[in-house]
Amino acid sequence: MYGFSYLWHGMLLSDLQEISIPVWLYMVLAGLVYIVLGLVLTIGTHKAVQYEWISLKGAFPLWTTLLAAALGFFVYLVIFVLGITFAKAGAMHMVVDVLWQMFEQGMGGLAVSLGIIYDMHQRFLEQERAS
């Protein structure tokens, strides 16, 4: 998610050149935000599996991606209400920004689901070796 954010704001839109704080401070703060978002996604995914809101037998990565995209929409709403944006005025920019935020968080959710699948696979292999 952090890399996608840098790609979007730093390279494609060159928003980072226009911020009023030092770029290194923005990158550190953004890193902390993305660590918290990743933690929320990971804990949320584990809870969703635990309470069987998401099944591991179905399209687990898809559902986790959709859950993360919903989180991305919520994050955008918070950012929009607080007025923290790189955006120029305009509805088109807002739509593109919310869609990007949902895509970015969705990719984070996909990474979380693939990490959980990998972890489960490793545990399965360890149990097979033990027996």
For 65-128, the DSSP string reads HHHHHHHHHHHHHHHHHHT---PPSSHHHHHHHHHHHHHHHHHHHHHHHHHHHHHHHHHHHHHH
In this prediction, residue 78 has a pLDDT band, given cuts at 50, 70 and 90, of: confident
**Contact call for residues 18 and 9 (beta carbons, < 8 A):** no
45-65 per-position pLDDT tens digit:
989 888 988 888 888 899 999
**Contact call for residues 41 and 108 (beta carbons, < 8 A):** yes
Side chain identity, residue 128: E
In this prediction, residue 14 has a pLDDT band, given cuts at 50, 70 and 90, of: low
- Mean pLDDT, the chain, rounded, equals 83
Locate 131 and state its tokens: 């027996």
In this prediction, residue 24 has a pLDDT band, given cuts at 50, 70 and 90, of: confident
pLDDT of residue 9: 66
Q: Determine the number of helices (DSSP H) and then strands (DSSP E) in the chain.
A: 4, 0
Between residues 96 and 50, the one the model is more confident about: 50
Q: What angle do CA 16, 10, 78 make, to 5 degrees?
A: 70
Q: How many domains does the chain have?
A: 1
- Mean pLDDT of all residues in 110-119: 91
Confidence check: pLDDT of 69 > 90: yes
| Rounded Cα distance, 1 and 95, in Å | 19
Task: Classify burial at 70, counting beta carbons within 10 Å of its beta carbon; exposed 0-12, middle 13-18, buried 19 or more.
Answer: middle
Query: Which residues span the domain enclosing 49?
Result: 2-130
Confidence check: pLDDT of 73 > 90: yes
